[in-house]
Chains A and B, each alone.
Chain A
């Protein structure tokens, strides 16, 4: 059963049904700092794909390379290509990408603090030209997914809680009617219960609206439970990838990222052997 699903997924990958293909990109900041050293990934249409890894692994940079928010941070894609629906989008500016349906939800929420929750959501529809009625109905859709936001629609976003701000950021992205959301670290600074809630919504949006997700997460445990496929990044390289179910069972992933091993939880004393084995991955 699982095998059949996997084969189907593999064939889908090979048949070029990828919504997004990132081929061997290299990213340099400030002309000198090499951050990504050849990252390739495929995101099949309608999937939830996770990029995992520790701090500084290059997750955020990968997402920003795709959404092209790198430019304003003096970063540059120097090698490789990024294809969205088979077309090269590496040269497009963020605004053009949002119009194409690729939008990023940035790490740390980044709400417009002095705008109300509803105004925040409406800015998401900035690039749309399909009229007020369509935007109003999408606003209702977002409120359906995030009932909490409807209650707080008149309050300034700066005064809402961390979880609500994450919802605002995600709802804002949804307002652009995307076919793909790049979700950066949605769990950051949130209580475990809330993280679960946010991922439930991601799953729901993915299933009901057909939105493809590419998400970067440090919380490997949660991410692998909700994603279909995962890539593990370390030091600007993909060191491992596979269907989420497989990654969850992989002994190295278990040990390095889920903190489990055959002998149960590791104690701090074993850290040296951890380092030695970790080198194998890098």
Chain B
């Protein structure tokens, strides 16, 4: 009697545990841990649960994703990769080359991703023709933010060329206002640099230099001009900028201490969190010049064993690119949806500008990946360029020397 009770209990527990794992399962590694970002991930999590999935959250904070990448490396090396990982840009292809990414083409084709994603963004999600990642959002990098009151009281319009910007900045300097709010951290220097490069060199030049790493373009006179403009910008930054965080620079624009900031559209979140209204308290415009630099966050799918995990992967991919998640997530995050057919009624005017420009530059072929945010190049090459940019910006190096150093560093990093 006793024995059969145990047996029944054992059978029952096996059945129960089987039932528990029968649904789609996903373990998701990401580094969205700060306030607004965590809220955005929670949206995905609850949608996943509503569709019968079991979500195992694996947030790894710190180092702008460096800590998460270290965790990922350890997991992959031990043969136990997470289901989905927040990865972006060429890092996706880099992991694909290690032979650890899964194919989610069936979902992508069933959902018609190719029709709703801009071609150059879709390109990042493919590994040798198969789909291996799902895009979440599009951040625009080449934004210039301005304090509306400061511009108005100094009679300055939003600049449309770098010459206009320099003229406006000189005027502001004379009026005792810091023209450009900037934080002296390598990635911020690189962000300004690529906006200047796109403006002065144009989309074709940008692509040759920072996507294809064409040596002649890197050494060209246009590049010297770009470094000259960086030197000019250095003069418009206050003396206390070293090591300042980007959000403190945004605050300087907010309280009228400074007039402009060149920063991606996460800066908008700071303005809005402080109760400022776009178009009224602060202005947003693309930096002088043509083109659009994007930073697309995405989730790459890793090879996993077991049908429940594979089902989880497919469900996750479907939900991420789904209309509802793309809308809700990006409203929280300040970016715009990666798919072009999402209604933007609830988004603010800056997001509308961003979406309009994205479509226009997609057609004009000037929709380009940001090098400073790891979309255009692999870590070693992007890092080599940033080293030169930040060394030039923070010293009195001549533009010609900087260009020579740029070519050498890039060659050395290959």
- Are A and B associated in one complex? no
Which A residues contact B (CB, under 8 angstroms)?
Answer: none
